[in-house]
Amino acid sequence: MDFEFSEEQIAIRDTIRELVQDRVAPRAAEIDEKGEYPKDIEKLFAQNGILGIPFPEQYGGISGSSVSICMGIEEIAKACASSSLILAVQALGSYPILVAGSEEQKQRLCPPLAAGEKIAAYALSESGSGSDAAAMKTTARRYGDEYVLNGSKQFITHGSIASTLVVFAQTDPGDDHRGISAFVLEREKSPWQAPKLEHKLGIRGSPTAQLVFEDVKVPAANRLGEEGAGFKIALAVLDRSRPGIGAQALGIAEGAFDYALAYAKERQQFGQPIASFQGMQFMFADMATQIEAARTLVYRAATKVDARAPDLTKVAAMAKLFASDMAMKVTTDCVQVLGGYGYISDYPVERMMRDAKITQIYEGTNQIQKVVIARALLR
Amino acid sequence: MDLELAPHHEAFRASMREFAQGVVEPHAAEVDRDHRFPEESIEAARHAGLMGVLIPREYGGAGLDAIAFALCIEELAQACASTAVIIDVHTSVGSEPILLFGTEEQKRQWLPRLASGELLGAFALTEPASGSDAASLKTSARHVGGDYVLNGTKVFITNIGRAGVYIVFARTGPDERAAGVSAFIVPADSNGLRVGQVFKKMGLHGSPTGELVLEDVVVPAANRLAADGKGFTVAMRALDSGRIGISGQALGIAQAAVDQAREVLAARPRAQGDDFALAEMATRLESARLLVYRAAWLCASKRPFTRIASMAKLHSTDTAMDLALGALELAGEDGAIAGSPFERHVRDAKALQIYEGSNQVQRVVISRDLVNAR
C-alpha cells in the first residue's frame, strides 16, 4: 500500500499546478462569462505536454496512466472546470483508439493527439438515446473499403472543435447493441457538421455540440475493432474515463473549499472572523472529510484502470457517483459560506457550483452508476 | 501509488475472517441477547495470538502494523461488534500507551502479559464531569514519598471489571488544565480500586462499560507513564491511533449490514429503489474503507496522521450508522425483531459516533487543523 504519487507524477503535478495558477486561474471567470472555448489554454496545455498525459511513450505521450490523468484533471479543475475538460476529453476521445485500436491505428492516430496538434472527442449519445445508449439510430453502411455514416449525435463535448472524432453507429441496425460499431473520423477526410452549440448551466467554456452526419465517408481502416464490437468498446471506455470525471468533481470541490476557507478566515462579522464560529468550523470539517473520502475512491478507481482490475466497472462507477455527489454538496455549501457574495459572479464559488452539476450527469448519470453498481453487487 | 493491500495484509485479513466467522460470529447473537462477556471469543483470541497485534515480537506480540490492526478489528466487528471493541480497546488505548511512552522496564513488565492476553487492558480518561473536555479531569494523584495516591471516579470505561490493568489519567500538578495531568499504569488488583456501576447499554451488550472508583489507591512512581505533567500528551496520542481501531470497527459493522442486506435483496423480487439504496450503501462503505486504510497507512509509515484519522473516524462511524439503518430499512419488519442482526447493528453502530471522541469532537479536531493551517 502506498497512498503517495510517484516522484515523476509529483513533478507533472507541480508543473500543471504552476501553469494553472499563472495562466488558467486568471482566465477562469472570463471563460465562464463569455462562454468561449479557451483556445489559448488548449495551446498552453499542448506546448507543455499536458495533452500527452493520456498516451504511453510509444504513441508520442508521456504517461498513459489513469492516476496521472486524474491528477492532471484534478489540478486544472481546481481553478477552471471548463479547462479541465481539455485534458479529460482528449483522454476520453483517445481511449477507444488505445483500448480497441490496432497497432497501426494507434501509431497513426495517437501521436498528433498526444502532441495536441489534434483534439479528440467521443460521440455516443443521441437525442433519443442517452442512458439507453444501445438505442442509437446513427447508421454506418459499408460500400467496399468505406463506410457511409448518417444520423446525428447530441451533447458531444468538443464535437465542434475536434479534429478526431470517435463515433458509434449501427452497422447492423436490426441487431440491438450487437449491431453497433466504432469509427474514428478524421475531420479533413470525413467532415461532419456541428450546427448547434448548447447554452448551459455550467462548464460554459467547453463547447457542447449537436453533430450531424450526412453521407460522411469513413475508410474501413478507421473502424475500431470488429463490426458489432462498438458497444463493448463504448462501455470499456466509460469504465476508464469515469475516474477522470470523479477527479474533475474532486478538483472543483477543492477549488471551492480552498476559496471558502480562505474567505471565512478573513471575513469579519460580530467582531471576529466567521471561521471562528463553530457552525462554520463544522461545515468545513464535514466538507474536508467528504473531499478526502472522495479522493481515495477516485484514485482507487484510477489504480484499478492501470491494473486492468476485474472489478474496475464497479469501483469506477462508485468513484464517479461519490465524487460528483460530494462536489455538488460541497460547492453548494461553499456558496453558503460566502452568503450573498457567494451568489454573485464577482466570486468564483457560484461558477464552481454550476460547474459541479454536470459531473452528476455526464458519462453516465448517477442513476446509471447506481444501476451499474447494483448489477455488480447482485450479479 | 498502490491502493491495494499488500499480500501479507490480505493473508492476515483472510485468517482473521476465518477466525471471526468461525469462532466469534456463532456467539454474537447470544452475547447481545444475554448481555454477557464473550468469554469463548476472547479466550480463543488469546490462543490465536490476537491480543498483541501491535506489540513487537520482542515483547511477546505479533509485531504487526496499524493496517493489520485495522483489518483485525474490521473482521472481528463484522462478526461481533462487542468482541471487536473489547480487543480494540485492549490493543490500542489499553496497551499502546505503554508501548509508545513506557520505559524499557515498564515495557518488559507489562507488554508480554498484555500481548498474551493474560491481562486485559483498559483506558480510564473520562469522568462524570469531564467528557469531551478531557483536560478538565478531577481525579487526583498526590505524590507521597515514592508513590502516588489516586482518588477519583472514572466513567464509561470499556472492559471494566475484566481488565487486569488500567491506564489512568490523574492530576498531579497545580495546573488546572492539560499541563497538570499525568498517566499511570494501575493494576486492577490495587487496594482501593473497585468497579462502580456497570451500565446497561443500548448496544455492545457483550462489552462491559462502567465506573472505575479509585479510593486512596497507592501507585508506585515506577508506574507513572511518561514525565509528570505529560499525561495529556499520552492520552491524545493514544486516541489518535485508537481512532483507527474504532474506524475498523465501523467498517466491520457496515460491511456486515451491507452483506446481509444484499442477501435479503438477492432472495426476493426487487424494485429499482432497493438496488439504488444498496448501490449507495456499498459506495459509501468503499469511500470509508479507503479513508480508514489511508489513516492506518499514514500511521504505519510514521507520517502525520491525526487529521486523517479524525476524518476516518467521523466518516466511517457516520457511514456505519447510516448503513445499519439503511440495511434495516431494506430488510423490513424481519430486521426489526429482537435477535435479528439488522437491529443489533443499529444499536451497536450508535456507540461508535460517541466514543473515543464524539463525532463533534472529531469536527473540532479537523477544523482546528484546517483553520490554523497556513
User: Is the domain of B178 the same as that of B206?
Assistant: yes
Of B99, B115, B131, the one marking the end of a domain is: B115
CB atoms near residue A62 (< 10 Å): 18
User: Is the domain of B97 the same as that of B158?
Assistant: no
The 10s digit of each residue's pLDDT in B300-337 is 999 999 999 999 999 999 999 999 999 999 999 999 99
Of B90, B115, B140, the one marking the end of a domain is: B115
Q: Contacts of residue A296 in chain B, CB cutoff 8 Å?
A: 3, 287, 290-291, 293-294
DSSP character string of A108-166:
HHHHHHHTTSS-EEEE--BTTBSS-GGG---EEEEETTEEEEEEEEEEEETTTT-SEEE
Distance of CA B183 to the CA centre of its chain: 19
Q: Which of B119, B5, B74, B59 is nearest to B252 (CA)?
A: B74
Active site (annotated) includes residue A18: no
User: CA triplet A55, A56, A58: central angle to 5 degrees?
Assistant: 120
The 10s digit of each residue's pLDDT in A41-53 is 999 999 999 999 9
Angle between helices B272-300 and B231-266 (to 10 degrees): 150
Report the pLDDT averaged over residues A332-350: 96
The predicted structure's pLDDT at residue B174: 82
Reported confidence tier of residue B372, pLDDT bands at 50, 70, 90: confident
Of B115, B144, B173, the one marking the end of a domain is: B115
Window 116-145 of B: residues touching A by CB (8 A cutoff) are none
Residue contact A318–B283, C-beta within 8 A: yes
The predicted structure's pLDDT at residue B237: 94
Those residues with Cβ within 8 angstroms of residue B152's Cβ, 6 or more apart along the chain or in another chain = B127, B137, B138, B139, B140, B170, B214
Q: Contacts of residue B264 in chain A, CB cutoff 8 Å?
A: none
Rounded CA-CA distance B136/B357 in Å is 15
Those residues with Cβ within 8 angstroms of residue A363's Cβ, 6 or more apart along the chain or in another chain = A92, A238, A241, A242, A245, A320
The predicted structure's pLDDT at residue A207: 98
Helix-strand-coil percent breakdown of chain B, rounded to 5? 55, 15, 30
Residue B51 main-chain phi, psi, to 5 deg: -90, -5
Q: A218 forms bridges with which residues in the sheet?
A: A147
Q: Which grid coordinates belong to A141?
A: 453502411
The predicted structure's pLDDT at residue A242: 98
- Nearest by CB: B3 against A1, A9, A281: A1
User: Is the domain of B109 the same as that of B190?
Assistant: no
The predicted structure's pLDDT at residue B60: 97
CB of B254 closer than 8 Å to CB of B323: yes
Report the pLDDT averaged over residues B356-365: 94
E strands present in B174-208:
181-187, 193-198
Does position A214 have pLDDT exceeding 90, yes or no? yes
Q: How many domains does chain B have?
A: 3
Q: Which grid coordinates belong to A342?
A: 457567494
CB of A126 closer than 8 Å to CB of A112: no
Q: What is the CATH number of the domain that holds B347?
A: 1.20.140.10
Residue contact B278–A377, C-beta within 8 A: yes
User: Is the domain of B200 the same as that of B252?
Assistant: no
Domain contains B2: no
Burial class (CB in 10 A: 0-12, 13-18, 19+), A285: buried
Q: Which domain holds residue B71?
A: 7-115
- B213 contact A CB<8A: no
Reported confidence tier of residue A379, pLDDT bands at 50, 70, 90: confident
The predicted structure's pLDDT at residue A238: 96
Cell numbers 489504480 correspond to A303
Q: Which of B197, B218, B237 is nearest to B357 (CA)?
A: B237
Residue contact A1–B287, C-beta within 8 A: no
Q: Contacts of residue B4 in chain A, CB cutoff 8 Å?
A: 1, 303, 307
Reported confidence tier of residue B58, pLDDT bands at 50, 70, 90: very high
The predicted structure's pLDDT at residue B361: 94
Domain contains B1: no
User: Is the domain of B253 the same as that of B341?
Assistant: yes
Residue contact B284–A322, C-beta within 8 A: yes
Q: Which grid coordinates belong to B172?
A: 498531579
Helix-strand-coil percent breakdown of chain A, rounded to 5? 60, 15, 25
Report the pLDDT averaged over residues B104-112: 98
User: Is the domain of B135 the same as that of B159?
Assistant: yes
Q: Tell me the shortest Cα–Cα distance from B317 to chain A, in angstroms.
A: 12
User: Is the domain of B207 the same as that of B325?
Assistant: no
Q: Which grid coordinates belong to A310?
A: 476485474
Burial class (CB in 10 A: 0-12, 13-18, 19+), A65: buried
Cell numbers 462579522 correspond to A269
Mean pLDDT, chain B, whole residue set: 96
E strands present in chain A:
120-123, 139-143, 146-157, 164-170, 180-186, 193-197, 208-219, 223-224, 268-269, 272-273
Give percent of chain A above pLDDT 70. 100
- The domains of chain A, with CATH numbers, are 7-114 (1.10.540.10), 120-228 (2.40.110.10), 231-378 (1.20.140.10)
Report the pLDDT averaged over residues B136-164: 96
The predicted structure's pLDDT at residue B157: 97
Q: Which of A123, A122, A120, A124 is nearest to A52 (CA)?
A: A120
- Nearest by CB: A1 against B4, B315, B363: B4
The predicted structure's pLDDT at residue B175: 83
Q: Which grid coordinates belong to A202?
A: 455550467
Report the pLDDT averaged over residues B325-351: 96
- Terminal-residue alpha carbon distance, chain B: 26
Q: What is the CATH number of the domain that holds B74?
A: 1.10.540.10
User: Is the domain of B150 the same as that of B227?
Assistant: yes
DSSP character string of B72-137:
HHHHHHHH-HHHHHHHHHHHTTTTHHHHHH--HHHHHHHHHHHHTTSS-EEEE--BTTBSS-GGG-
Mean pLDDT, chain A, whole residue set: 97
User: Is the domain of B142 the same as that of B168?
Assistant: yes
Q: What is the CATH number of the domain that holds B140?
A: 2.40.110.10
- Relative to beta strand A164-170, strand A120-123 is parallel
Report the pLDDT averaged over residues B223-240: 96
The predicted structure's pLDDT at residue A78: 98
Domain contains B291: yes
Does position A281 have pLDDT exceeding 90, yes or no? yes
The predicted structure's pLDDT at residue B73: 98
User: Is the domain of B214 the same as that of B267?
Assistant: no
User: Is the domain of B108 the same as that of B143?
Assistant: no
Does position B374 have pLDDT exceeding 80, yes or no? no
- B262 contact A CB<8A: yes
User: Is the domain of B269 the same as that of B356?
Assistant: yes
| Cα-Cα-Cα-Cα dihedral sign, residues A360, A361, A367, A371 | negative
Cell numbers 499525568 correspond to B182
Rounded CA-CA distance B10/B15 in Å is 9
Q: Which grid coordinates belong to A277?
A: 464560529
Domain contains B212: yes
The 10s digit of each residue's pLDDT in A156-206 is 999 999 999 999 999 998 878 899 999 999 999 999 999 999 999 999 999
The predicted structure's pLDDT at residue B176: 82
Does position B173 have pLDDT exceeding 90, yes or no? no
CB atoms near residue A311 (< 10 Å): 11
The 10s digit of each residue's pLDDT in B8-25 is 999 999 999 999 999 999
Give percent of chain A above pLDDT 90. 98
Q: What's this model's pTM, rounded to 2 decimal places?
A: 0.94
Interface TM-score (ipTM) > 0.90:
yes
Report the pLDDT averaged over residues B115-133: 96
The predicted structure's pLDDT at residue A175: 77
